[in-house]
């Protein structure tokens, strides 16, 4: 049994700084939560700030975001299972070092995410397994192909046996040189609605790689539970998302890297201008989403080029803050909200709850840079 005494804290929903709080931890449970400073046990830790463990809402554990050489990244996809598994374990450690205690892996076709989920001892992994896509369309490194509705039903039923969520590749990636999404949406409304119904019939939530107004509109009409990336968003689409309760994981980080380091890919000045416009529009719509109550979730797409695991989730929170999202809402988006929407165990700090929290050496509500000052993870005793 140990005692934590914090000067200020965020419980997952609300910020508290009127007086210190004392937490009594035994095994993996918060046995007591007492206002004020009380040395209940011999083992006492004095803390500047405590909050629930962070959640990385969208990442690819088998990919090393720190590898910037595009040829090496391509060759890496030919690596063996053990090599990829080692990279994934290193990425788990990077996440934990930044205070991340739950990650949602957004798909790989090699089975690394499932393997890591089963043997991770340092943090929790939510795995989508392998995603679904149309034949010969974007997503070969993380998805299997489905052509007919029978293909869809069989694939969904198979994936539902082992996957925590179902990932759908609904659109292509962004063509930065043209400032638009490549190609048409992969699934039309009828087939995507069928896919989502199949998933919901077996109690599995769906999330869709999706950018561009046309693809997002189809995804919303089909009942997809979460839009991933969502670039080229519109006010009208956000209103529909708010009305339906659809989540949005905006993933600023990969595009921001391309804008910040254009020399890495050799982008022209014109392309850099387009990248800036894309980011500015994204920021505007994330701010609007927060204002009208869209279920925002922080996710960095870690594993993408220049998007390192752990640190990029913190960067993503700062992107939210730069949009004008409050610290409270940004932390809800990276702690309690994803857990609630995904139906995973709560990490809110309250009496009787399981201990899954982090200690920072400074209060981020006082100075946002304190988000970088992760000191200790307190979980599982």
The CA-atom distances, in angstroms, between 194 and each of 80, 153, 171, 201 are 35, 9, 17, 10
- CATH fold label, 2-52+347-379: Urease, subunit C; domain 1 (2.30.40)
Q: What backbone phi and psi angles, to 5 degrees, belong to 119?
A: -115, 5
The mean pLDDT value for 349-363 works out to 96
pTM for the model: 0.96
Distances (CA, A) of 166 to 133, 158, 301: 11, 11, 16
User: Which residues, other chains included, contact 205 with Cβ-Cβ below 8 Å and sequence gap of 6+?
Assistant: 165, 166, 199, 225, 226, 342, 343
pLDDT score, position 27: 86
In percent, the amount of the chain with pLDDT more than 90 equals: 97
Cα–Cα distance for residue pair 303/67, rounded to 1 Å: 9
Q: Which of 231, 209, 214, 328 is nearest to 286 (CA)?
A: 231
Rounded CA separation 341/142 (Å) = 23
Indicate if the pLDDT at residue 380 is higher than 80: no
Confidence band, pLDDT 50/70/90 cuts, at residue 76: very high
Is the pLDDT assigned to residue 301 strictly greater than 60? yes
Which DSSP state fits 193? H
Q: With respect to CATH, is domain 54-342 assigned 3.20.20.140?
A: yes
pLDDT in tens, 122-151: 899 999 999 999 999 999 999 999 999 999
The whole-number pLDDT of residue 34 equals 96
The partner residues of 226 in beta bridges, in order of sequence, read: 207, 247
How confident is the model over 163-185, as pLDDT tens digits?
A: 999 999 999 999 999 999 999 99
- Overall average pLDDT of the 303-318 stretch: 99
Contacts of 263 by beta carbon, 8 Å cutoff, 6+ apart = none
Q: What is the mean pLDDT of residues 355-369?
A: 98
- Once rounded to an integer, what is the mean pLDDT over residues 114-128? 96
Tokens of 267: 């982008």
Alpha-carbon torsion (203, 209, 210, 215), positive or negative: negative
Q: Where are the domains of the chain?
A: 2-52+347-379, 54-342
Mean pLDDT of 288-301: 99
| Residue 156 confidence (pLDDT) above 80 | yes
The confidence score (pLDDT) of residue 381 equals 42
Q: What is the mean pLDDT of residues 263-269?
A: 96
What stretch of H or E contains 72? helix 70-76
Q: How far is CA 195 from CA 153, 247, 275, 347, in A?
A: 7, 18, 33, 32
CA 167/CA 159 separation, integer angstroms:
10
Provide the Cα torsion 81, 126, 55, 321; round to 10°.
Answer: 90
Cα–Cα distance for residue pair 181/138, rounded to 1 Å: 11
Q: Mean of the pLDDT values across residues 257-268? A: 96
Inter-residue contact 148 to 184 (CB < 8 Å): no
Compute the distance between CA of residue 35 and CA of residue 174 in angstroms, rounded to an integer.
50
Taking alpha carbons only, the member of 72, 5, 13, 64 closest to residue 34 is 5
| Structural contact between residues 308 and 24, judged by C-beta atoms closer than 8 angstroms | no
Question: What confidence tier does 28 reach under pLDDT thresholds 50, 70, 90?
Answer: confident
| Residue among 164, 159, 168, 118 nearest 138 (CA) | 168
E strands in the chain: 2-10, 15-16, 21-26, 29-35, 44-52, 54-59, 100-105, 124-127, 131-133, 143-145, 165-169, 174-175, 180-181, 205-210, 226-229, 247-249, 295-296, 356-360, 374-379
CB-based burial label for 224 (10 Å; 0-12, 13-18, 19+):
buried
What mean pLDDT is reported for the chain? 97
- The Cα 241–Cα 226 span in angstroms is 9
Rounded to whole angstroms, the Cα distance separating 112 from 62 reads: 6
First to last CA, the chain: 8
If you average pLDDT over residues 119-123, what whole number do you get?
Answer: 92
* Distance, CA of 381 to CA of 369 (rounded, Å): 28
At 6-25, the pLDDT tens digits run: 999 999 999 999 999 999 99
* Count of CA atoms in the C-beta half-sphere (13 A) of 267: 22
Q: How many helices (H) and strands (E) does the chain have?
A: 12, 19
Q: Is 78 exposed, middle or buried (0-12, 13-18, 19+ CB in 10 A)?
A: exposed
């Amino acid at each position: 049994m140990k005692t934590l005494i914090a000067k200020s804290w965020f419980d997952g929903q609300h910020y508290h700084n009127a007086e210190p709080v004392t937490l009594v931890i035994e095994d993996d449970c918060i046995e007591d939560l007492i206002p004020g400073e009380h040395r209940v046990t011999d083992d006492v830790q004095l803390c500047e700030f405590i909050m629930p463990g962070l959640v990385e809402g969208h990442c690819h554990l088998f990919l090393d975001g720190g590898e910037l050489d595009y040829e090496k990244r391509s060759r890496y996809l030919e690596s063996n299972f053990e090599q990829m598994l080692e990279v994934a374990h290193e990425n788990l450690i990077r996440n934990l070092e930044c205070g991340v205690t739950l990650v949602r892996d957004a798909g790989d076709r090699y089975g690394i995410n499932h393997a890591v989920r089963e043997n991770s001892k340092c943090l929790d992994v939510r795995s989508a397994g392998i995603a679904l896509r149309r034949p010969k369309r974007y997503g070969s490194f993380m998805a299997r192909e489905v052509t007919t509705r029978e293909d869809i039903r069989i694939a969904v039923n198979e994936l539902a046996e082992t996957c925590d969520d179902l990932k759908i590749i609904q659109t292509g990636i962004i063509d930065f040189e043209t400032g638009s999404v490549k190609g048409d949406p992969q699934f039309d409304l009828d087939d995507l609605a069928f896919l989502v119904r199949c998933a919901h019939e077996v109690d599995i939530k769906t999330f869709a790689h999706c950018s561009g107004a046309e693809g997002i509109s189809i995804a919303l009409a089909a009942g997809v539970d979460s839009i991933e990336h969502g670039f080229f968003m519109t006010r009208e689409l956000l209103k529909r998302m708010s009305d339906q309760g659809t989540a949005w994981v905006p993933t600023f980080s990969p595009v921001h890297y391309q804008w910040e380091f254009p020399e890495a890919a050799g982008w022209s000045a014109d392309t850099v201008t387009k990248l800036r416009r894309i980011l500015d529009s994204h920021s505007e719509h994330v701010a609007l989403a927060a204002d009208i109550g869209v279920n925002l979730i922080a996710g960095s797409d870690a594993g993408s080029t220049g998007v390192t695991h752990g640190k990029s989730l913190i960067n993503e929170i700062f992107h939210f803050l730069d949009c004008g999202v409050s610290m409270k809402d940004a932390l809800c988006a990276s702690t309690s909200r994803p857990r609630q929407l995904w139906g995973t165990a709560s990490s809110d700090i309250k009496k009787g709850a399981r201990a899954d929290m982090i200690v920072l050496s400074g209060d981020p509500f006082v100075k946002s840079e304190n988000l970088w000052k992760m000191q200790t993870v307190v979980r599982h005793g």
